[in-house]
């Protein structure tokens, strides 16, 4: 079973390196004399960028939390009566549930912060 996770780690590392390499290649191919204009022109744009970052972070965290929960469930089901693996699976399931709850609460916090920033900007 461990070789499956080591393969998954190698696969994810390969994807990460591919994305990073693509970003480097794209940035290197851009004309060095011209810089792209900033997407932030006024205060509302700051709020929009922060909302976008929070949305991406939430989605990534939520996906990782669900995967961790499923990994715990898989470990629990494959324990075969081994008490340490059962305990390990239960612990992962618990941490996965806690992470999902935190991810769900973070959307509320992001909306609260966004509305506070919008109010502070005078909107």
Interval 44-74: pLDDT, tens: 778 788 778 878 888 888 888 889 999 999 9
Do residues 53 and 79 share a domain? yes
CA–CA separation, 109 vs 117, rounded Å? 12
Find the angle CA(94)-CA(62)-CA(10) to the nearest 5 degrees.
90
Do residues 44 and 8 share a domain? no
Do residues 9 and 67 share a domain? no
Query: 92 lies in which domain range?
Result: 39-123
CA–CA separation, 39 vs 72, rounded Å? 41
- What is the pTM (predicted TM-score) of this model? 0.56
Do residues 76 and 44 share a domain? yes
Instruction: Say which residue, 40 or 2, is predicted with more confidence.
Output: 40
Do residues 81 and 23 share a domain? no
């Amino acid at each position: 079973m461990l070789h499956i996770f080591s393969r998954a780690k190698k696969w994810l590392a390969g994807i990460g390196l591919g994305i990073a390499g693509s970003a480097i290649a794209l940035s290197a191919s851009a004309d060095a004399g011209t810089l792209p204009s900033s997407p932030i022109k006024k205060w509302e744009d700051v709020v929009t960028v922060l909302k976008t970052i929070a949305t991406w972070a939430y989605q990534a965290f939520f996906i990782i939390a669900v995967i961790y929960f499923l990994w715990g469930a898989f470990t629990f089901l494959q324990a075969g009566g081994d008490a340490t693996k059962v305990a390990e699976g239960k612990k992962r399931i618990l941490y996965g549930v806690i992470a999902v709850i935190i991810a769900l609460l973070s959307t509320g916090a992001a909306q609260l912060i966004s509305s506070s920033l919008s109010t502070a900007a005078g909107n």
